Structure 1
Amino acid sequence: MSDEVRAAGATAGTADEQDGVGRGGIRLINVTKRYPGQGTPAVDDVTMTIRGGEIVVLLGPSGSGKTTMMRLINRLIEPTSGKIIVAGQDAMGLDPTELRRHIGYVIQNAGLFPHMTVATNVGLVPQMLKWDKKRIAARVDELLELVDLDPAEYRGRYPRELSGGQQQRIGVARALAADPPAMLMDEPFGALDPITRGNLQDSLLRLQDELGKTIVFVTHDIDEALKLGDRIAILDKGSRVAQYATPQEILLNPADDYVEQFLGGGQAMRLLQSSRVADVPLQHVPEARTGDDADAVRRRIEGSEIGFAIVLDERDRPVRWAHPDDLDGVTGPIGERGMDVAPPIRARATLQQALESLIQIEHEWVPVVGPRGVYRGTVTLGTLQNAIRDMKDRARRPRRPS
């Protein structure tokens, strides 16, 4: 294990002891797993902190210990030594079955029970937790809508009547059923075709934008890891954590030759595919609301270098642009005046997705939104060009010593 990872874990661990790592945060402290008769540990003295609300991807070749590390978290496998903290509690001090009921788990091919309907599969954990039938039914419908499946159409179906992508959506819904703070996802999209896989990755990011779960995601696909991960742990044989960092840090500054070789080529395009709009300094324009006085909005516009304002609704979602011409002669509230905004770009969207959106629309300025569509700022082609230029400058810096 690298000194960098151990130091990062120790630093985050100190913060965790003081004020927690957030709801659903996970800490592995000197965790080792040895199997009888094997000279090399499957997991060897790993210390790592996963902050609440992050997607952390365990990435590595077969035999690197990534699935073993995941299964240690919910005690499907017991550690030989070390300590695991889940949502502020020592996992070893909890009943394993009770622990698993509060950690969502999604595997490849969904793992649905073939003799149960979709509704029964999704409601299984709430039923074990003794929820009443009305509450379970409402939760099932809510989750099916969340994963873009019509409850009326799908709740009574059986797994054999679903496509592979639909089964995986049901698997995600089942993992979310009891609203667990943390989820474990073991190569959940690995058996799907590229188009379905990409669509489900996008759906997962949309769900994460809304729900903010702590997710540990196992994959051997570097592009999937770069797309999904807030941070990535690149594992070598024997569970050595070669690097634990954000996708941008890994692409710009690989920790060693192993990481550089694992990444392969095409770093420039991968930066676009993995860097998110949330990482870019957004531009801000004067803000207004439907009920704001027109004179006050005009003064805001005149007091800025931007010649217009963005109008937000009662839930802080962007709806219109208001230019001075739209407010000529208006007294009192601005009402519905102005021009509709372009479809917003989500903060979790990649720079590549943002560029594609900006190229395809006629608007120069596009609002950026976070969870629940709340306005966070705006982007233009110039905004993204500057961000890409900064990345290229950082990429030219020499790699730090191993």
Structure 2
Amino acid sequence: MRETRDAEPAGEREPAGRGGIELINVTKRYPGQDAPAVDDVTMTIRGGEIVVLLGPSGSGKTTMMRLINRLIEPTSGKIIVAGRDALGLDPTELRRHIGYVIQNAGLFPHMTVATNVGLVPQMLKWDKKRIAERVDELLELVDLDPAQYRDRYPRELSGGQQQRVGVARALGADPPAMLMDEPFGALDPITRGNLQDSLLRLQEELGKTIVFVTHDIDEALKLGDRIAILDKGSRVAQYATPQEILLNPADEYVEQFLGGGQAMRLLQFSRVADVPLQDVPRARTGDDAAEVRRRIEGGEIGFAIVLDERDRPVRWAHPEDVEGVTGPIGERGMDVAPPIRARDTLQQALESLIQIDHEWVPVVGPRGVYRGTVTLGTLQNAIKDMKDRARTRRRPS
């Protein structure tokens, strides 16, 4: 096997986890061609991650995707999808359990939106009531009102709406994994950006394993939990997080592919989840006021954050809010500012912090669960640390 940077070598792979995908020494050769389209690739895609395959035409990224759901068969190697040997399964059955989204949505023009979205559940012989409920649920999930859109035909939709229907169809039977082959490539920049944001919101809620193909470096940096930068012949030049790729390109090819502007891209594409968050004492509405006051006094911040029964932040509690109170703290305290999401970029977080009156803002993950807090100082220190690390790596030895 050829040497790759940051890909998992055979024998040292970390487990893919639930819903993950593994390619093990996968090769695809076409008759009459001297070089393989995919050459001995080994890669682990962890469950619940968005992994972007990024590279120029001819780098094998779409071929790798089609190998995963067996639209084409590998010449050699092994493919594991959600813990099952994909090559040992019936191809049609395999595809029904992998969502697939392509450019221009690929909807059937003679079918309504509801019929398109319900195709896979229908193939799996769900009853009509269950299919109808699932269709409405998915349309709501992709921000399309079922009453308004379920009976329309694809020609009556905009390009962005068609892509949303395509995503809903791919989620039809709640597959553990989704494959997305340049799904937003044909759309205008504004629609494309909106759909990228929608995909990130969906992923935060659903936590699917997503393999996303693109040739757009900014799209890859925005969407990917990890990015595989491919060279000709499917060489994995680097397989790492966006921040790692921006701070430490593996080789000259990756540097050229990035094309400069790494400092600004760190701000645009590094996520709040990438920086150390500050924690504060925690409380709940039913906690005893005297105990909450002890937690505040025992901390260094001077106040506590109050969480609801689903661990979502609702209020700040200061010592004066619980002074002299007996029993539960109840609704005492000051409402928190609208939280920042862990998937937000540092640029989005900075804009939020500048525009609000609160110094401290909670950070939430999937389903609004509290993760920590940030301040302007938190982000300034994180950005300084990134710049220092980048400067250190650029310094000649």
Tell me, what secondary structure is at the counterpart of 1:27? strand
Q: What is the Cα deviation at residue 325 of structure 1? A: 2.1
Distance in 2 (CA, whole Å) between partners of 1:168 and 1:401 is 47
What per-residue deviation string (whole Å, max 9, x for no partner) do you get for residues 269-309 of structure 1? Answer: 11112211111111111111111111111111111111111
Q: Is the 8 A contact 2:25 2:77 kept in 1?
A: yes
- Distance change >3 Å, CA 19–CA 61, structure 1 → 2: closer
Preserved contact between residue 20 and residue 88 of structure 1 (Cα < 8 Å): no
Q: CA deviation at 1:102?
A: 0.3
Query: Cα offset for 1:14?
Result: 9.5
Q: Does 1:174 align with 2:192?
A: no
Change (3 A) 1:20 1:395: closer
2:8 touches 2:14 (CA, 8 Å); kept in 1?
Answer: no
The answer as to 2:126 corresponding to 1:93 is no
Structure 1: where are the runs of 5+ without partners?
1-9
Partner SS for 2:100:
strand
Please state how far the C-alpha of 1:19 moved relative to its aligned partner.
9.0
Distance in 1 of aligned mates of 2:108 and 2:287: 55
After the TM superposition, which residues 273-352 of structure 1 pair with which residues of structure 2 at under 5 Å, given as runs?
A: 273-352=268-347
- Partner deviation per Cα, 1:247-282 (whole Å, 9 max, x = no partner): 111111111111100101110111112211111111
1:225 Cα deviation after fit: 0.3
* 1:15 match: secondary structure: coil
Residues 197-219 of structure 1: CA deviation (Å, up to 9, x unaligned): 11111111111111111100000
Single out whichever of 154-163 and 98-107 deviates more from structure 2: 154-163
Shift of 1:154: 1.2
Question: Cα–Cα, structure 1 residues 67 and 18, in superposed 2: closer, same or farther, change >3 Å?
Answer: closer
Deviations 1:140-191 (A, max 9, x none): 1111111111111111111111111111111111111111111000000111
Q: Return closer, same or farther for 1:198/1:250 CA change in 2, 3 Å cut-off.
A: same
Q: Provide the rounded CA distance (Å) in 2 between the counterparts of 1:376 and 1:230.
A: 18
The answer to whether the 8 A contact 2:138-2:168 is kept is yes
Question: What residue in structure 2 maps to residue 370 of structure 1?
Answer: 365
- Alpha-carbon deviations, 1:24-79, whole Å to 9, x = none? 11111111111111111111111111111111100011111110110010011111
Distance 1:357 1:15, change over 3 A: farther
- CA–CA distance in structure 2, aligned partners of residues 17 and 132 of structure 1: 45
Preserved CA contact (<8 Å) 1:59 1:225: yes
SS at match of 1:100: helix
- What is the CA distance between 1:399 and its match in structure 2? 5.7
- Per-residue deviation, 1:329: 3.1
Deviates more, 1:30-39 or 1:94-103: 30-39
For residue 397 of structure 1, report the CA deviation from its aligned partner.
Answer: 2.3
CA distance in 1, matches of 2:377, 2:96: 48
Preserved CA contact (<8 Å) 2:113 2:149 = yes
Corresponding residue to 2:17 among 16, 22, 35 = 22
How many residues end up aligned between the 2 structures? 393
1:254–1:399: 8 Å Cα contact kept in structure 2?
no
Aligned to 1:204: 199
Structure 2 runs not aligned, ≥5 long: none
Check whether the contact 1:344–1:367 (CA below 8 A) recurs between aligned residues. Answer: yes
- How far is the alpha carbon of 1:401 from its aligned partner? 11
The C-alpha deviation readout for 1:307-364, integer Å capped at 9, x for no partner, is 1111111111001111122223322111111111111111111111111111111111
CA contact (8 A) 1:112 1:121 kept: yes
Contact 2:7 2:236 in 1 (8 A): no
Partner of 1:209, secondary structure, is helix
SS of the residue 1:260 aligns to? helix
CA distance in 1, matches of 2:298, 2:139: 47
Query: CA–CA distance in 2 between the matches of 1:353 and 1:19?
Result: 32
Residue 17 of structure 1 aligns to a residue whose secondary structure is coil
Separation in 2, partners of 1:103, 1:39? 32
Deviations along 1:361-402, one digit per CA (max 9) or x if unpaired, are 111111011111111110001111111111011101236999
Q: Secondary structure at the match of 2:30?
A: coil
How far apart in 2 are the matches of 1:261 and 1:208? Answer: 30
The verdict on how the C-alpha distance between 1:343 and 1:15 changes in structure 2, with shifts beyond 3 A counting, is: farther
SS class of match (1:192): coil
Query: In structure 2, what is the Cα distance between the partners aligned to 1:153 and 1:292?
Result: 45
Say whether the 8 Å CA contact 1:58–1:216 is kept in structure 2: yes
Deviation at 1:17, TM superposition (A): 10
Matched-pair contact (CA < 8 Å) for 2:7–2:238: no
Taking structure 1 as the reference length, what is the TM-score of the superposition? Answer: 0.94
Tell me how large the CA RMSD over aligned residues is: 2.1
CA distance in 2, matches of 1:272, 1:195: 20
- Residue number among 142, 154, 159 corresponding to 1:159 in the alignment: 154
